[in-house]
Amino acid sequence: MSAAPSPLSTAPAQLILGQLLPFHADPFAVPPDEAVRHERRGAVLVEGGTIRATGAADALRAAHPQVPVRDMGEALLLPGFVDAHVHFPQTGIIASWGKRLIDWLNSYTFPEEMRLSDPDYAAAIAARFFDLTLANGTTTVCSFATSDPVSVEAFFAEAAERGLRAVAGKTCMDRNAPEGLCDTAQSAYDDSKALLRRWHGRGRLEYAITPRFTPTSSREQLHALGALWREHPDCLMQTHLSEQLDEIAWVKDLHPQARDYLDTYESADLLGERALFGHAIHLAPREVDRLAEAGAALVHCPTSNTFIGSGLFDMAGLKARGLPVALATDVGGGSSFSMLRTMAAAYEIGQLRGTPLHPAQLLWLATEGSARAMHMADRVGTLAAGSEADLVALDLASTPAIAQRADRAADIWEAVFPTIMMGDDRAIAGVWVAGRRQ
């Protein structure tokens, strides 16, 4: 199938005004205050769906006097949020009560995922999912689908209709799941390859090879997907790793020959620099070493980790080892579609580990950090010239509680932090996708 026309060439030119916090370094690698510059009255010049320039509002207005202006006042202009690990089929079962991981999958997830074999239902869930993510300022997602190709088609069709940059893959599993969701090693390979050929690189869409996790994929299936990844190394590979202790024990029972959980993927050629491993809470020293050597990325899902009782991710320790780390809602194991709430949960987990995160680090994780982990920072996640114009404007006084705290702010970080900790979709003053206001 030929590629769909790019939406990036059709958006009209405009100057969007507001406060700016453009990053020029990783705030985990340098002091956070030194990684970013605050532009009190800034502007982003957007043309043809691309960021052409950022800087002082007066200077850009003088240089481009004919370009229409949208003034967002005191709002903070950021790259659109990048959510690096979601399960769009679980939209309808978010915040389901009272289960840990394995029970939660059996009680809620698997029954719901079977419903998405119905094309109409899958399309409705995909539309609802993107309505909710865009309302929360998220413009790029990396999602698991179900084992039925119908769900992948629904996700990509909806994302393409909206002109979004999005990643997804058929969730492969051939054991320890209901019969209605199980595929085989061969059908997982065949289905994934067909979907990849249909959607990967079409418009702003990318395919991710997607074994759910070792407990639901046989050794044969993991090796088949490893072979597919070798054939298409430009794709991402996404899965789960070391989310809960009972899950790790289950993997050990299933694979007694493996050195550890990561080895079940590594032995199948599912470890590399374009790999995304969700959760990664309870890692053994060898696993950390190999992940760092391979350049694989980890995805921190804080609201999910607390909601399902998984544990406390070691952000400081893993970043100190140089591992790329992304941030994600993990809907529906995660309990919010909001990356603001996700940042707040990451801060709280950092506090519990004695390593609280600076607001600059939280904002970077939700934008450029996630984009880097997904090998997209040249396209999304930054305000750099040449980046695609996916933007969000944050109202830093969206509720009375936030406003009264922000009024006392001595600097930009004290102004931003209340919105990180208490903000929700009411804080989203504007969203642009490829330069178009949503």
Structural domains of the chain in order of their starting residue, each with its CATH number: 7-79+382-437 (2.30.40.10), 81-373 (3.20.20.140)
pLDDT band at 10 (very low <50, low <70, confident <90, very high): low
Short-list 175, 214, 167, CA closest to 195? 167
* Burial annotation 14-35 (CB, 10 A radius, 16+ → b, else e): bbbbbbbbbbeebbbeeebeeb
Beta strands in 148-235 (DSSP E): 165-169, 171-172, 205-211
- Alpha-carbon distance 173 to 179, whole Å? 10
Instruction: Report the distance separating Cα 238 and Cα 229, nearest Å.
Output: 11
* pLDDT above 90: percentage of residues in the chain: 91
Whole-angstrom distance, CA of residue 403 vs CA of residue 394: 13
Find all residues with CB under 8 Å of 166, minimum gap 6, and list them: 140, 141, 142, 143, 155, 156, 159, 204, 205, 206
> At residue 9, does pLDDT exceed 70?
no
181 near 114, Cβ under 8 Å? yes
Which pLDDT tens digit goes with each residue over 174-232?
A: 999 999 999 999 999 999 999 999 999 999 999 999 999 999 999 999 999 999 999 99
Residues 6+ positions from 31 with CB-CB distance below 8 Å: none
CA atoms of 396 and 382, how far apart (whole Å): 20
Model pLDDT, residue 11? 75
Q: What digits encode the pLDDT tens for the residues 94-147?
A: 988 766 677 878 888 888 899 999 999 999 999 999 999 999 999 999 999 999
CA 60 vs CA 43, 44, 64, 388: distances in Å: 7, 8, 6, 19
pLDDT at 3 over 60: no
| Per-residue confidence (pLDDT) for residue 107, from 0 to 100 | 84
Model pLDDT for residues 221-263, shown as the tens digit of each residue? 999 999 999 999 999 999 999 999 999 999 999 999 999 999 9
Structure pTM?
0.96
- Span 323-345, average pLDDT: 96
